[in-house]
Amino acid sequence: MSSTASDSLLAAPTRATRPLTVQRQLHQLVILGGLTLFYISMIMPARLQVTMSVVTLSPPANAVAYGVGYPYFTILDAVMLAWGLAFWFLTGAFRRTHSSAVLVYVGVSLLSAVIAGYRYSVGLESDFFMDGVLGAVRLLAAYAVFASVPSSEARWARRLQNALAILFVVSLFLNHAGFQQAGTYSNEAGRLTASGFDFATTSYFGGVLVLSALTMAQGRRRWVLVCAGLVGLAMGGGRLALTIALPTIAFTVLRSRPVIRRTLIRIGLIGAALAVIAVVTLPSLLERIPTFRRSIDDAVYYVKPSELSVIAERYFPLLRSAGITHPAVLGRFNVWASALQLLDDRHWQPAGSDWRVQQGLELLGVPSHSHNGYLQTALKFGPLAFLVWVPLAGTTWRGLRRRSPYGLILLFLLLSLAFDYWMLVAKALFLLYAFAALNDRWLAEHPRQRLEHQPVGTGD
Protein backbone atom coordinates (compact mmCIF):
# COMPACT_ATOMS: atom_id res chain seq x y z
CA MET A 1 0.00 0.00 0.00
CA SER A 2 1.37 3.42 -0.93
CA SER A 3 2.15 6.06 1.64
CA THR A 4 -0.45 8.37 0.08
CA ALA A 5 -3.20 5.83 0.54
CA SER A 6 -2.03 5.16 4.08
CA ASP A 7 -2.08 8.87 4.93
CA SER A 8 -5.58 9.23 3.54
CA LEU A 9 -6.83 6.34 5.68
CA LEU A 10 -5.30 7.87 8.78
CA ALA A 11 -6.67 11.32 8.02
CA ALA A 12 -10.20 10.19 7.30
CA PRO A 13 -11.17 9.47 10.95
CA THR A 14 -9.83 12.85 11.99
CA ARG A 15 -12.06 14.71 9.55
CA ALA A 16 -15.05 12.54 10.52
CA THR A 17 -14.62 13.12 14.21
CA ARG A 18 -14.59 16.92 13.99
CA PRO A 19 -18.36 17.34 13.51
CA LEU A 20 -18.91 14.70 16.18
CA THR A 21 -16.77 16.70 18.60
CA VAL A 22 -18.72 19.88 17.87
CA GLN A 23 -21.97 18.00 18.24
CA ARG A 24 -20.83 16.55 21.56
CA GLN A 25 -19.82 20.00 22.82
CA LEU A 26 -23.20 21.41 21.79
CA HIS A 27 -24.86 18.48 23.55
CA GLN A 28 -22.95 19.21 26.77
CA LEU A 29 -23.73 22.94 26.49
CA VAL A 30 -27.44 22.23 26.15
CA ILE A 31 -27.39 19.96 29.20
CA LEU A 32 -25.32 22.34 31.36
CA GLY A 33 -27.29 25.45 30.43
CA GLY A 34 -30.67 23.76 30.75
CA LEU A 35 -29.91 22.21 34.12
CA THR A 36 -28.51 25.49 35.44
CA LEU A 37 -31.70 27.33 34.49
CA PHE A 38 -33.82 24.50 35.89
CA TYR A 39 -32.19 24.44 39.33
CA ILE A 40 -32.10 28.25 39.58
CA SER A 41 -35.81 28.50 38.78
CA MET A 42 -36.70 25.76 41.26
CA ILE A 43 -34.65 27.04 44.19
CA MET A 44 -34.41 30.83 43.83
CA PRO A 45 -36.70 32.62 46.35
CA ALA A 46 -39.79 34.01 44.65
CA ARG A 47 -39.35 37.53 46.02
CA LEU A 48 -35.82 37.60 44.69
CA GLN A 49 -37.18 36.75 41.25
CA VAL A 50 -39.65 39.62 41.58
CA THR A 51 -36.74 42.08 41.54
CA MET A 52 -35.95 40.83 38.00
CA SER A 53 -39.50 41.38 36.72
CA VAL A 54 -39.86 42.73 33.18
CA VAL A 55 -43.66 42.45 33.02
CA THR A 56 -45.86 43.08 36.05
CA LEU A 57 -49.62 42.81 35.88
CA SER A 58 -51.92 44.86 38.11
CA PRO A 59 -54.06 42.41 40.08
CA PRO A 60 -57.36 43.44 41.66
CA ALA A 61 -57.35 44.42 45.31
CA ASN A 62 -58.77 41.12 46.56
CA ALA A 63 -56.06 39.16 44.72
CA VAL A 64 -53.43 41.27 46.47
CA ALA A 65 -55.10 40.75 49.84
CA TYR A 66 -55.53 37.00 49.54
CA GLY A 67 -52.49 36.12 47.46
CA VAL A 68 -54.10 34.57 44.40
CA GLY A 69 -51.65 34.44 41.52
CA TYR A 70 -48.15 35.60 40.75
CA PRO A 71 -48.33 38.66 38.45
CA TYR A 72 -44.69 38.72 37.29
CA PHE A 73 -42.76 37.67 34.22
CA THR A 74 -39.07 37.93 35.03
CA ILE A 75 -35.78 38.00 33.15
CA LEU A 76 -35.27 34.43 34.28
CA ASP A 77 -38.60 33.41 32.72
CA ALA A 78 -37.65 35.14 29.45
CA VAL A 79 -34.24 33.43 29.30
CA MET A 80 -35.82 30.06 30.10
CA LEU A 81 -38.45 30.52 27.39
CA ALA A 82 -35.93 31.51 24.70
CA TRP A 83 -33.35 28.87 25.67
CA GLY A 84 -35.87 26.10 26.13
CA LEU A 85 -37.83 26.64 22.93
CA ALA A 86 -34.68 27.05 20.83
CA PHE A 87 -33.00 23.86 21.98
CA TRP A 88 -36.25 21.95 22.39
CA PHE A 89 -36.78 22.17 18.64
CA LEU A 90 -33.20 22.49 17.31
CA THR A 91 -31.86 19.42 19.11
CA GLY A 92 -34.82 17.22 18.22
CA ALA A 93 -35.80 16.92 21.89
CA PHE A 94 -39.34 17.95 20.95
CA ARG A 95 -39.90 14.59 19.26
CA ARG A 96 -38.48 12.67 22.23
CA THR A 97 -40.22 14.55 25.05
CA HIS A 98 -43.36 15.74 23.31
CA SER A 99 -46.29 15.72 25.73
CA SER A 100 -49.74 16.54 24.48
CA ALA A 101 -51.01 17.32 27.98
CA VAL A 102 -48.90 20.44 28.56
CA LEU A 103 -49.47 21.77 25.04
CA VAL A 104 -53.21 21.28 25.45
CA TYR A 105 -53.17 23.25 28.72
CA VAL A 106 -51.22 26.14 27.16
CA GLY A 107 -53.51 26.18 24.12
CA VAL A 108 -56.68 26.09 26.23
CA SER A 109 -55.36 28.92 28.44
CA LEU A 110 -54.62 31.14 25.46
CA LEU A 111 -57.90 30.36 23.68
CA SER A 112 -59.92 31.00 26.85
CA ALA A 113 -58.20 34.36 27.29
CA VAL A 114 -59.04 35.29 23.69
CA ILE A 115 -62.71 34.39 24.25
CA ALA A 116 -62.83 36.31 27.54
CA GLY A 117 -61.11 39.31 25.91
CA TYR A 118 -63.66 39.36 23.12
CA ARG A 119 -66.54 39.16 25.59
CA TYR A 120 -65.03 42.06 27.52
CA SER A 121 -64.65 44.13 24.34
CA VAL A 122 -68.36 43.76 23.51
CA GLY A 123 -69.46 44.48 27.08
CA LEU A 124 -70.35 40.95 28.19
CA GLU A 125 -67.65 40.90 30.89
CA SER A 126 -67.06 43.59 33.51
CA ASP A 127 -63.33 42.85 33.88
CA PHE A 128 -60.55 41.24 31.89
CA PHE A 129 -57.23 40.06 33.30
CA MET A 130 -54.15 38.54 31.66
CA ASP A 131 -52.97 36.34 34.53
CA GLY A 132 -54.12 33.21 32.70
CA VAL A 133 -51.95 34.06 29.70
CA LEU A 134 -49.01 34.92 31.93
CA GLY A 135 -49.35 31.63 33.81
CA ALA A 136 -49.46 29.66 30.55
CA VAL A 137 -46.33 31.38 29.22
CA ARG A 138 -44.43 30.77 32.47
CA LEU A 139 -45.48 27.10 32.37
CA LEU A 140 -44.25 26.85 28.79
CA ALA A 141 -40.91 28.44 29.76
CA ALA A 142 -40.30 25.96 32.59
CA TYR A 143 -41.46 22.97 30.58
CA ALA A 144 -39.40 23.94 27.51
CA VAL A 145 -36.20 23.98 29.61
CA PHE A 146 -37.15 20.64 31.12
CA ALA A 147 -37.86 19.11 27.70
CA SER A 148 -34.84 20.63 25.94
CA VAL A 149 -32.30 18.70 28.01
CA PRO A 150 -31.62 15.37 26.27
CA SER A 151 -31.76 12.86 29.06
CA SER A 152 -33.34 9.61 30.12
CA GLU A 153 -36.58 9.42 32.07
CA ALA A 154 -34.77 8.04 35.14
CA ARG A 155 -32.21 10.87 35.22
CA TRP A 156 -34.88 13.53 34.97
CA ALA A 157 -36.79 11.88 37.80
CA ARG A 158 -33.68 12.12 39.97
CA ARG A 159 -33.28 15.79 39.09
CA LEU A 160 -36.86 16.59 40.06
CA GLN A 161 -36.31 14.77 43.34
CA ASN A 162 -33.05 16.66 43.96
CA ALA A 163 -34.66 20.02 43.25
CA LEU A 164 -37.59 19.40 45.62
CA ALA A 165 -35.32 18.10 48.38
CA ILE A 166 -32.95 21.08 48.11
CA LEU A 167 -35.92 23.44 48.00
CA PHE A 168 -37.40 22.15 51.27
CA VAL A 169 -34.08 21.94 53.13
CA VAL A 170 -32.92 25.41 52.02
CA SER A 171 -36.28 26.87 53.02
CA LEU A 172 -35.96 25.30 56.46
CA PHE A 173 -32.53 26.84 57.04
CA LEU A 174 -33.66 30.23 55.71
CA ASN A 175 -36.46 30.25 58.26
CA HIS A 176 -34.08 29.64 61.17
CA ALA A 177 -31.79 32.36 59.80
CA GLY A 178 -34.68 34.82 59.94
CA PHE A 179 -34.64 35.31 56.17
CA GLN A 180 -38.40 35.75 55.95
CA GLN A 181 -38.48 38.43 53.27
CA ALA A 182 -37.49 36.05 50.49
CA GLY A 183 -40.84 34.45 49.84
CA THR A 184 -39.78 31.27 51.60
CA TYR A 185 -41.73 31.47 54.85
CA SER A 186 -44.95 32.83 56.17
CA ASN A 187 -45.66 34.30 59.54
CA GLU A 188 -49.02 32.50 59.58
CA ALA A 189 -49.05 29.93 62.37
CA GLY A 190 -45.41 29.05 61.76
CA ARG A 191 -46.19 27.11 58.58
CA LEU A 192 -43.38 26.33 56.16
CA THR A 193 -43.78 27.61 52.62
CA ALA A 194 -41.08 26.79 50.09
CA SER A 195 -40.03 29.36 47.52
CA GLY A 196 -42.67 29.75 44.83
CA PHE A 197 -45.19 27.62 46.76
CA ASP A 198 -47.83 28.52 49.28
CA PHE A 199 -48.28 26.56 52.51
CA ALA A 200 -50.67 23.89 51.29
CA THR A 201 -48.73 23.40 48.05
CA THR A 202 -45.58 22.86 50.08
CA SER A 203 -47.34 20.02 51.89
CA TYR A 204 -48.68 18.46 48.70
CA PHE A 205 -45.30 18.38 46.98
CA GLY A 206 -43.62 17.20 50.16
CA GLY A 207 -45.92 14.20 49.78
CA VAL A 208 -44.91 13.93 46.11
CA LEU A 209 -41.24 13.77 47.10
CA VAL A 210 -41.93 11.02 49.66
CA LEU A 211 -43.87 8.98 47.09
CA SER A 212 -41.22 9.39 44.39
CA ALA A 213 -38.47 8.42 46.85
CA LEU A 214 -40.31 5.25 47.85
CA THR A 215 -41.01 4.20 44.26
CA MET A 216 -37.78 5.24 42.50
CA ALA A 217 -34.88 5.83 44.93
CA GLN A 218 -32.67 3.20 46.52
CA GLY A 219 -30.54 2.83 49.66
CA ARG A 220 -29.52 5.89 51.66
CA ARG A 221 -30.70 8.25 48.94
CA ARG A 222 -34.25 6.98 49.46
CA TRP A 223 -34.25 7.89 53.16
CA VAL A 224 -32.61 11.28 52.63
CA LEU A 225 -35.35 12.14 50.14
CA VAL A 226 -38.07 10.74 52.43
CA CYS A 227 -36.82 12.98 55.27
CA ALA A 228 -36.76 16.05 53.00
CA GLY A 229 -40.25 15.23 51.74
CA LEU A 230 -41.60 14.82 55.25
CA VAL A 231 -40.22 18.27 56.09
CA GLY A 232 -42.43 19.79 53.41
CA LEU A 233 -45.40 17.52 54.07
CA ALA A 234 -45.50 18.00 57.85
CA MET A 235 -44.24 21.57 58.28
CA GLY A 236 -46.34 22.95 55.44
CA GLY A 237 -49.27 22.35 57.78
CA GLY A 238 -51.63 21.09 55.10
CA ARG A 239 -54.30 18.99 56.76
CA LEU A 240 -55.78 17.74 53.52
CA ALA A 241 -52.31 16.99 52.17
CA LEU A 242 -51.59 14.79 55.17
CA THR A 243 -55.02 13.14 54.93
CA ILE A 244 -54.46 12.19 51.28
CA ALA A 245 -50.72 11.54 51.43
CA LEU A 246 -50.53 9.16 54.39
CA PRO A 247 -52.86 6.47 52.97
CA THR A 248 -51.19 6.82 49.55
CA ILE A 249 -47.74 6.40 51.13
CA ALA A 250 -48.93 3.39 53.13
CA PHE A 251 -50.38 1.79 49.99
CA THR A 252 -47.12 2.46 48.12
CA VAL A 253 -45.09 0.74 50.83
CA LEU A 254 -47.46 -2.23 51.05
CA ARG A 255 -47.48 -2.67 47.29
CA SER A 256 -43.68 -2.80 47.18
CA ARG A 257 -43.75 -6.01 49.31
CA PRO A 258 -40.09 -6.42 50.40
CA VAL A 259 -39.15 -5.33 53.89
CA ILE A 260 -42.61 -3.89 54.52
CA ARG A 261 -42.45 -3.89 58.28
CA ARG A 262 -39.00 -2.29 58.48
CA THR A 263 -39.97 0.38 55.98
CA LEU A 264 -43.14 1.29 57.88
CA ILE A 265 -41.23 1.48 61.15
CA ARG A 266 -38.61 3.76 59.60
CA ILE A 267 -41.23 6.09 58.15
CA GLY A 268 -43.04 6.19 61.50
CA LEU A 269 -39.87 7.01 63.42
CA ILE A 270 -38.81 9.67 60.93
CA GLY A 271 -42.28 11.23 60.97
CA ALA A 272 -42.37 11.26 64.78
CA ALA A 273 -38.91 12.84 64.97
CA LEU A 274 -39.87 15.55 62.49
CA ALA A 275 -43.09 16.22 64.40
CA VAL A 276 -41.08 16.76 67.61
CA ILE A 277 -38.66 19.06 65.77
CA ALA A 278 -41.57 21.01 64.30
CA VAL A 279 -43.18 21.52 67.70
CA VAL A 280 -39.89 22.56 69.32
CA THR A 281 -38.61 24.85 66.55
CA LEU A 282 -41.94 26.31 65.46
CA PRO A 283 -43.86 26.83 68.70
CA SER A 284 -46.97 28.21 67.03
CA LEU A 285 -47.63 24.78 65.55
CA LEU A 286 -48.32 23.56 69.08
CA GLU A 287 -51.44 25.71 69.17
CA ARG A 288 -52.68 24.32 65.87
CA ILE A 289 -52.23 20.61 66.49
CA PRO A 290 -54.97 20.05 69.14
CA THR A 291 -57.64 22.21 67.54
CA PHE A 292 -56.75 22.20 63.83
CA ARG A 293 -57.69 25.86 63.70
CA ARG A 294 -55.95 28.56 61.71
CA SER A 295 -55.97 32.19 62.69
CA ILE A 296 -56.14 33.41 59.10
CA ASP A 297 -57.07 30.59 56.74
CA ASP A 298 -60.53 29.59 57.98
CA ALA A 299 -61.58 33.12 58.85
CA VAL A 300 -60.65 34.58 55.47
CA TYR A 301 -61.56 31.83 53.03
CA TYR A 302 -64.77 30.75 54.69
CA VAL A 303 -67.36 33.37 55.56
CA LYS A 304 -69.27 32.23 58.67
CA PRO A 305 -67.44 28.88 58.58
CA SER A 306 -69.59 27.24 61.26
CA GLU A 307 -72.80 27.74 59.27
CA LEU A 308 -74.02 26.12 56.08
CA SER A 309 -74.81 28.77 53.49
CA VAL A 310 -78.13 28.98 51.68
CA ILE A 311 -76.35 28.19 48.41
CA ALA A 312 -74.71 25.12 49.94
CA GLU A 313 -78.06 23.85 51.22
CA ARG A 314 -79.39 24.05 47.68
CA TYR A 315 -76.51 22.14 46.10
CA PHE A 316 -75.81 19.77 49.01
CA PRO A 317 -79.22 19.20 50.67
CA LEU A 318 -78.11 16.22 52.75
CA LEU A 319 -75.35 18.06 54.61
CA ARG A 320 -77.56 19.58 57.29
CA SER A 321 -79.18 16.26 58.11
CA ALA A 322 -75.73 14.67 58.30
CA GLY A 323 -74.97 16.80 61.36
CA ILE A 324 -71.57 18.03 60.10
CA THR A 325 -70.38 21.03 62.13
CA HIS A 326 -66.61 21.17 61.57
CA PRO A 327 -65.76 24.67 60.24
CA ALA A 328 -63.28 23.43 57.64
CA VAL A 329 -65.71 20.87 56.22
CA LEU A 330 -68.66 23.27 56.09
CA GLY A 331 -66.38 25.97 54.70
CA ARG A 332 -65.27 23.75 51.84
CA PHE A 333 -68.85 22.88 50.91
CA ASN A 334 -69.85 26.56 51.10
CA VAL A 335 -67.02 27.44 48.70
CA TRP A 336 -67.84 24.60 46.29
CA ALA A 337 -71.52 25.53 46.26
CA SER A 338 -70.63 29.14 45.47
CA ALA A 339 -68.41 27.93 42.61
CA LEU A 340 -71.25 25.78 41.23
CA GLN A 341 -73.59 28.77 41.48
CA LEU A 342 -71.11 30.98 39.64
CA LEU A 343 -70.66 28.33 36.96
CA ASP A 344 -74.42 28.25 36.50
CA ASP A 345 -74.65 32.05 36.45
CA ARG A 346 -71.92 32.30 33.80
CA HIS A 347 -73.47 29.52 31.66
CA TRP A 348 -70.04 27.87 31.37
CA GLN A 349 -68.55 30.91 29.62
CA PRO A 350 -64.74 30.86 30.13
CA ALA A 351 -63.37 33.60 32.38
CA GLY A 352 -59.82 33.00 31.14
CA SER A 353 -58.42 34.19 34.46
CA ASP A 354 -58.22 33.07 38.09
CA TRP A 355 -58.56 36.71 39.10
CA ARG A 356 -61.80 37.03 37.14
CA VAL A 357 -63.12 33.89 38.83
CA GLN A 358 -62.17 35.37 42.18
CA GLN A 359 -64.09 38.55 41.39
CA GLY A 360 -67.22 36.49 40.78
CA LEU A 361 -66.80 34.32 43.85
CA GLU A 362 -66.30 37.35 46.10
CA LEU A 363 -69.81 38.51 45.27
CA LEU A 364 -71.01 35.13 46.62
CA GLY A 365 -69.07 35.46 49.89
CA VAL A 366 -65.86 33.68 48.85
CA PRO A 367 -62.87 36.03 48.59
CA SER A 368 -60.53 33.40 47.14
CA HIS A 369 -60.46 30.61 44.57
CA SER A 370 -62.88 27.68 44.58
CA HIS A 371 -60.63 25.23 46.51
CA ASN A 372 -61.29 22.63 43.81
CA GLY A 373 -59.14 22.29 40.72
CA TYR A 374 -61.91 20.83 38.60
CA LEU A 375 -64.46 23.51 39.47
CA GLN A 376 -61.85 26.25 39.09
CA THR A 377 -60.79 25.11 35.63
CA ALA A 378 -64.46 24.79 34.60
CA LEU A 379 -64.93 28.44 35.62
CA LYS A 380 -61.66 29.50 34.02
CA PHE A 381 -61.85 27.55 30.76
CA GLY A 382 -65.53 26.69 30.39
CA PRO A 383 -66.22 23.50 28.39
CA LEU A 384 -62.58 23.55 27.23
CA ALA A 385 -61.62 22.35 30.74
CA PHE A 386 -62.47 18.80 29.67
CA LEU A 387 -59.59 18.97 27.18
CA VAL A 388 -57.22 19.76 30.07
CA TRP A 389 -58.20 16.75 32.17
CA VAL A 390 -58.58 14.03 29.52
CA PRO A 391 -54.83 13.58 28.80
CA LEU A 392 -53.91 13.83 32.49
CA ALA A 393 -56.55 11.28 33.50
CA GLY A 394 -55.52 9.03 30.63
CA THR A 395 -51.82 8.94 31.48
CA THR A 396 -52.61 8.47 35.18
CA TRP A 397 -54.88 5.51 34.43
CA ARG A 398 -52.31 3.88 32.15
CA GLY A 399 -49.59 4.44 34.75
CA LEU A 400 -51.65 2.79 37.47
CA ARG A 401 -52.55 -0.19 35.30
CA ARG A 402 -48.96 -0.74 34.20
CA ARG A 403 -47.54 -0.05 37.70
CA SER A 404 -45.51 2.91 36.54
CA PRO A 405 -43.54 4.60 39.38
CA TYR A 406 -45.36 7.82 38.45
CA GLY A 407 -48.90 6.43 38.54
CA LEU A 408 -49.50 6.92 42.26
CA ILE A 409 -47.79 10.32 42.21
CA LEU A 410 -50.19 11.55 39.52
CA LEU A 411 -53.16 9.98 41.32
CA PHE A 412 -52.17 11.75 44.54
CA LEU A 413 -51.95 15.10 42.73
CA LEU A 414 -55.28 14.65 40.95
CA LEU A 415 -56.95 13.66 44.24
CA SER A 416 -55.53 16.74 45.94
CA LEU A 417 -57.11 18.93 43.27
CA ALA A 418 -60.53 17.63 44.29
CA PHE A 419 -60.10 19.46 47.62
CA ASP A 420 -57.77 22.34 46.77
CA TYR A 421 -56.50 24.45 43.89
CA TRP A 422 -52.76 24.91 43.48
CA MET A 423 -52.61 25.15 39.67
CA LEU A 424 -52.25 28.92 39.87
CA VAL A 425 -48.74 28.25 41.30
CA ALA A 426 -46.54 28.07 38.18
CA LYS A 427 -43.89 25.84 39.74
CA ALA A 428 -46.49 23.35 40.98
CA LEU A 429 -48.23 23.32 37.60
CA PHE A 430 -44.92 22.62 35.88
CA LEU A 431 -44.19 19.70 38.23
CA LEU A 432 -47.60 18.17 37.49
CA TYR A 433 -46.93 18.17 33.75
CA ALA A 434 -43.30 17.12 34.18
CA PHE A 435 -44.36 14.00 36.08
CA ALA A 436 -47.06 13.36 33.45
CA ALA A 437 -44.45 13.58 30.68
CA LEU A 438 -42.08 11.25 32.54
CA ASN A 439 -44.94 8.81 32.98
CA ASP A 440 -45.57 8.88 29.22
CA ARG A 441 -41.85 8.28 28.63
CA TRP A 442 -41.81 5.35 31.06
CA LEU A 443 -44.85 3.77 29.41
CA ALA A 444 -43.25 4.15 25.98
CA GLU A 445 -39.97 2.61 27.15
CA HIS A 446 -41.69 -0.28 28.95
CA PRO A 447 -44.18 -1.63 26.42
CA ARG A 448 -46.51 -4.34 27.59
CA GLN A 449 -45.18 -7.67 26.42
CA ARG A 450 -47.57 -9.76 24.41
CA LEU A 451 -47.16 -13.49 23.95
CA GLU A 452 -47.20 -14.30 20.27
CA HIS A 453 -48.46 -17.75 19.33
CA GLN A 454 -46.05 -19.52 17.01
CA PRO A 455 -46.90 -22.86 15.41
CA VAL A 456 -44.70 -25.76 16.50
CA GLY A 457 -41.90 -26.51 14.10
CA THR A 458 -41.62 -23.03 12.62
CA GLY A 459 -38.83 -20.53 13.05
CA ASP A 460 -35.07 -20.97 12.94
Q: Is residue 106's pLDDT more than 70? A: yes
- Which whole number is the average pLDDT over 428-456? 78
C-alpha dist (Å) from residue 148 to 59, 87, 88, 142, 454 = 32, 5, 4, 10, 43
Average the pLDDT over 57-68 and give the result: 72
What would the DSSP string read from start to end of 414-436? Answer: HHHTTT---TTSHHHHHHHHHHH
Minimum mean pLDDT range among 205-214, 242-251, 445-454? 445-454
The partner residues of 72 in beta bridges, in order of sequence, read: 56
54 burial type by CB count under 10 A (0-12 exposed, 13-18 middle, 19+ buried):
exposed
| Cα separation, 42 vs 196, whole angstroms | 8
pLDDT at 76: 92
Quick check: 84 and 31 in contact, CB under 8 A? no
- The average pLDDT across 68-72 equals 71
Q: Where are the domains of the chain?
A: 50-445
Mean pLDDT score of the chain, rounded to an integer?
79
CA pseudo-torsion sign 216, 238, 416, 163 = negative
- Whether the predicted pLDDT of 45 surpasses 80: no
Residue 170 has a pLDDT of 83
| Statement: residue 382 has pLDDT above 60 | yes
Q: What CA–CA distance (Å, rounded) separates 333 from 50?
A: 35
> What is the pLDDT, as a whole number, of residue 242?
82
Of 60-69, 208-217, 438-447, the poorest mean pLDDT is in 60-69
Give the burial class of 409: count Cβ atoms within 10 A of its Cβ; 0-12 exposed, 13-18 middle, 19 or more buried.
Answer: buried
pLDDT surpassing 90 at residue 21: no
Please state, in angstroms and rounded to a whole number, the distance separating the CA atoms of residues 8 and 163. 50
For the chain, the residue count is: 460
What is the model's pLDDT at position 388?
Answer: 96
What does the buried/exposed string (b/e) look like for 307-345 if buried means 16 or more CB atoms within 10 Å of the residue's CB? ebbebbeebbeebeeeeeeebbebbbbbbbbbbbbbbee
Say what the pLDDT of residue 147 is. 85
Give the range with max mean pLDDT: 8-17, 134-143, 327-336.
134-143
130-139, 189-198, 231-240, 390-399, range with the lowest pLDDT: 189-198
The residues, ordered by sequence, that sit 6+ positions from 106 with a Cβ below 8 Å of its Cβ are 136, 139, 140
SS3 350: coil
Q: At what angle do helices 219-235 and 239-256 cross, to 10 degrees?
A: 160
- pLDDT bin (cut points 50, 70, 90) of residue 373 is very high
* Predicted model pTM: 0.83
Q: Are 437 and 142 in contact (CB under 8 A)?
A: no
pLDDT at 56 over 90: no
**The predicted structure's pLDDT at residue 378:** 97
